[in-house]
Amino acid sequence: MKFQSYRSTVYGTGGTVATSQPLAAMAGVKILQKGGNAADAAVATAAALNVTEPTSTGIGGDAFALYYGQKSRKVHGVNASGRAPKDLTLEKLISLGFDKEFPRFSVHTVTVPGAAAGWVDTVEKHGNLSISEVLQPAIELAENGFPVAPITARAWARGAKFQLSNSPNGIELLKNGVAPGSGELMKIPTMAQTFREVAEHGKAGFYEGRIAESIVDIIQSMGGHMNLEDLRDHTTTFEAPIFTDYRGHRVYEIPPNGQGLTALIALNILEEFDISSMNPHSTEYYHLLIETMRLAFADSRYYVADPSVVELPIQSLLSKEYAKERRELLNLERATVDQVKGSPEKISNTVYLSVVDGEGNACSFINSNYMGFGTGIVPKGCGFTLQNRGHNFSLDPEHPNVLAPGKRPYHTIIPSMITTQGDHGEQLYASYGVMGGFMQPQGHVQVGLNLIDHKMDPQQALDHPRFCITDGTSGGTVALEEGISIEVMSQLGSMGHPVRPVSGFGRGIFGRGQVITRSSDGVLAAGSDPRADGMAIAL
């Protein structure tokens, strides 16, 4: 698939939805037209994405959100990520032979699904409508069927091969035993029934009763440790976002256990460079950003953990003084692939969508199973897969992110939001995000600089070719996207970066972003990533 986008930025004033699947975007638009606000439309879109793109997301996974209220002029955080089972200990895993890393799709990587509670709680706290109204478009898509989009069909075939075909009840997400092809009509009646139970009973419809029992039955039958109490005790947390001020803009991220800290550390380091005067296609530019991300990952891969379990030096990591200290480690001539974490102080460590409504409320929302279909494990009669988010726990007993009962793991999925200071408080500048594992903070930085420093419009900011440190470590291989010149790729390699050119469908590694900006007079401008099936729709 050639890297080529002929899209224009989409403009409107009555509300905008941008995501990776057109039918899911329309679900959000329907909710806006029904009188729902940005929070309602975001949850409707997330649920519809579970139907139309279960290869990436679902109610068996986790979610995070940032919500900007036009009246309050404040940004609020929603952490809808789940925790490890209370009976799963590091000692038990080691006794099973897991002493370094989980197998990717092991039943032991299943953490409590947080998305269902996150959907309900987001609507109840920030929305205008009932969860029953909000889930109706997704229920109709699952019951009546939908034509599968091309990139999704490709991912579905891969997931069928590596996860669903080896999974109990994986047949519920296949068509006649195989993955649906591009343009084929797909129905998922068991998923529709799951959504109906949540629509009728709220959180209890998922975390108690038939669905909860089906989740526990399948996990325990495969040797896992989750029980009904783990599900019943799950809670969403509403948290103050973390942020940094960058050139007159305030950039918000979800705090740990999310990895948004990575992007903010990087922006603090970059702030002293004259980014706007640099050619965004040049070797100099890519080298500086890659080196900065190496430093940021060296810190975040250690310090990002569950702050309710371990004390984390978040404010010290976000300080401008610490950024100055880390900035001095940058080598502008050579790659430094052995960066180590700093010591700010002693410590005791996907689909993305964006909605802005006509009133100016915004919801930056992300929902994920982690690795495609997650574990691929489908609770019988439920029509969704269980995530494998626990794969991101460390098995090093001295690491802040070490597995522990009831603990949230390091999370890759992160929404972002940018504000500026207006006459009456903070004014929304952009609701945006870039999904895709460890690409996400790298995407936030690259797209954010395109918007703020290079004055690109939303679609241009997303179209620009990206780099990705593939494993989110300071020394990882750097994937370079088609569109970066061969000369620049060669020069980066000569500087010591382990580089890998990527083109075609492989461009999925660079994430799939969505951006909506809002001007002071209420005009919404939106872009949708050309690396996905989706689009932005404006009213």
**Residues of the chain under the 50 pLDDT cut:** 1, 346-349
Q: In what order do the strands lie in the sheet with 467-469?
A: 467-469, 478-481, 499-502
Q: Give, for 266, the enclosing helix (H) or strand (E).
A: helix 260-270
CB 319 within 8 A of CB 344: yes
Q: Identify the active-site residue in 9, 57, 244, 350.
A: 350
List the structure tokens of 62: 């986790």
Closest CA to 441 of 478, 472, 464, 396: 472
| 172 to 106, 124, 135, 194, 285: CA distances (angstroms) | 20, 30, 20, 13, 47
What would the two tokens of residue 150 be? 């091309």
- CA torsion 493-494-495-497 (nearest 10°) is 20
And the tokens for 491? 């020069």
Q: Classify domain 1-259+304-312+347-466+511-539 at the CATH topology level.
A: Glutamine Phosphoribosylpyrophosphate, subunit 1, domain 1 (3.60.20)
Do 412 and 405 meet the contact criterion of CB atoms below 8 Å apart? no
Instruction: Decide if 93 contacts 103 (C-beta within 8 A).
Output: no
pLDDT for 120: 98
pLDDT, tens only, 362-406: 999 999 999 999 999 999 999 999 999 999 999 999 999 999 999
Q: Which residue has the tokens 């300080």?
A: 319
- Nearest C-alpha neighbor of 350 from the set 440, 480, 460: 440
- Predicted local confidence at residue 349, as pLDDT: 25
pLDDT digits (tens, 9 = 90+) for 439-496: 999 999 999 999 999 999 999 999 999 999 999 988 899 999 999 999 999 999 999 9
Q: How far apart are CA 387 and CA 318, in angstroms?
A: 30
pTM over 0.75: yes
* The pLDDT value given to residue 348: 31
Residue in 517, 134, 136, 520 with CA at minimum distance from that of residue 362: 517
The per-residue pLDDT for range 61-75, each reduced to its tens digit, is: 999 999 999 999 999
| Amino acid identity, position 104 | R
Nearest residue to 51 via CA among 166, 178, 137, 132? 137
> Of 12, 13, 47, which is closest to residue 27 (Cα–Cα)?
47
Looking at residue 343, what is its pLDDT?
Answer: 67
The domain spans of the chain are 1-259+304-312+347-466+511-539
The verdict on whether 412 is a catalytic residue reads no
Nearest Cα residue to 483 out of 468, 496, 497, 502: 502
What residue type is assigned to position 494 of the chain? S
* Residues 63, 48: Cα–Cα separation, whole Å: 14
Cβ-based neighbour number of residue 9 at 10 Å: 20
Three-state secondary structure call for residue 115: helix
Q: For the chain, give me the number of helices (H) and strands (E)?
A: 17, 19
pLDDT of residue 3: 54
Please report the pLDDT score of residue 409 as a whole number: 97
